Structure 1
Amino acid sequence: MTRTLYLFGSAAPPVFDVARVIEDAQARGWDVCLGLTPTAADWLQDGLDGLAALTGHPVRSRYKRPGEPDVWPKADAILVAPATFNTVNAWALGLTDRFVVGVVAEGIGKGIPMAVMPCVNAAYVQHRAFERSVQELREMGVRVLYGEGGFVPNQPGQGRPEAYPWSLALDAVDSLVPAVGS
């Protein structure tokens, strides 16, 4: 039985590696559905058809209209990575004007296993709202991969997207929903 992973990405430079991450997740036995914030979808606009072909599902960045059928299978787990300062704070506050944040906010109430790995610089994390948001998500049962054993912020302008620890994020969702037979 295949596990279904909703992979949600925000507009941070590691999102440009999402095709490779999808392939890695598929190799681990995940059926991947890709959701993007509107800005991330804009950044990846030229490759969205290819990403849809890779996953076998439409790439989504907007809510469906009332009465439209759901085009994705039910999620077994959700991974939000890279998660920007805005996405982390909006999720913790329940501000669901964006599709990605709406799904994960509702996912808490549905009991869907979730992990999030931020991608923020060291200046953003000085804002008190960020630490409160991280704590709030942890208290709601979300596995937050931030700090030791997760994402460690760089100084502004010194980010290294190629060093974003995608394997830690995939390991986390694997541990939330182990493959059948593992």
Structure 2
Amino acid sequence: MTKPVLYLFGSAAPPVFDIADAVTNAQNRGFDVCLGLTPTATRWLAPQLARLERLTGHPVRSEYKMPGTPDVWPMANVIAVAPATFNTVNSWALGLTHDFVVGVVAEAIGKQIPTVTMPCVNAAYVQHRQFERGIRELREMGVQVLYGEGGFQPNQPGRGSPSEYPWHLVLDAALEMHDG
């Protein structure tokens, strides 16, 4: 029996440094995990990339493949985007597919791949009107957004605690989306 495939996509917010633990947690929940990162998150995690590839058994991706080349990942059963930065949320909601992660999740809406995201933004960013519009837009397109009550709660700038990022919420939602 093959394991369900989870695409776990991380953006450049401090909790991304703990993504290896999130991968292990997802694997313990029965997922085959493929890890994708935004370009900045890839730079941040550069010293860990080889270890992350060994952990997942798949290449860590941050760039589109060349047209006509085979995909190195199996098809996703569910996608989780966490941590999702202000930039990732807004780019995704607006359909600005300038990077691999946003391109895949934008297309996932049309492919009807169950997708969950949990932002990681501070209270200053959420004052920008586009952020709430982006959250609303993603929800209207069928993305489960774990933000606000029962999800990520913004902190004051510079006062976040990355170790308290509730990874379990996004992984619980991914498992429920797959099993549900």
| Range into which the TM-score falls when normalised by the shorter chain | over 0.9
Q: 1:96-141: per-residue Cα shift (whole Å, max 9, x none)? A: 0100000000000000000000000000000000000000000000
Question: For this pair of structures, how many residues does the alignment match?
Answer: 179
Q: 1:14-38: per-residue Cα shift (whole Å, max 9, x none)? A: 0000111100000000000000000
Describe how 1:1-182 pairs up with structure 2 within 5 A. 1-178=2-179
Distance in 2 (CA, whole Å) between partners of 1:161 and 1:81 is 12
Moved over 6 A (4+): none
Distance in 2 (CA, whole Å) between partners of 1:29 and 1:77 is 12
3-state secondary structure, aligned to 2:179: coil
Distance in 1 (CA, whole Å) between partners of 2:89 and 2:56 is 25
Distance in 2 (CA, whole Å) between partners of 1:143 and 1:35 is 19
Distance in 2 (CA, whole Å) between partners of 1:138 and 1:47 is 33
Distance in 2 (CA, whole Å) between partners of 1:23 and 1:47 is 14
Distance in 1 (CA, whole Å) between partners of 2:35 and 2:3 is 16
Structure 1, unaligned stretches of length 5 or more? none
> What RMSD in Å do the two structures reach over aligned CA positions?
0.8
Structure 2, unaligned stretches of length 5 or more? none
TM-score (structure 2 length as normaliser): 0.98
Q: 1:46-86: per-residue Cα shift (whole Å, max 9, x none)? A: 11011001000000000001111100000000000000000
Distance in 2 (CA, whole Å) between partners of 1:78 and 1:158 is 29
The one-letter code sitting in structure 2 at the alignment partner of 1:177 is H
Q: 1:140-171: per-residue Cα shift (whole Å, max 9, x none)? A: 00000000100000000101000000001100
Displacement of 1:91 in angstroms is: 0.1
Distance in 2 (CA, whole Å) between partners of 1:65 and 1:139 is 32
The one-letter code sitting in structure 1 at the alignment partner of 2:93 is A
Distance in 1 (CA, whole Å) between partners of 2:52 and 2:14 is 17
Percent identical residues? 69
TM-score (structure 1 length as normaliser): 0.97
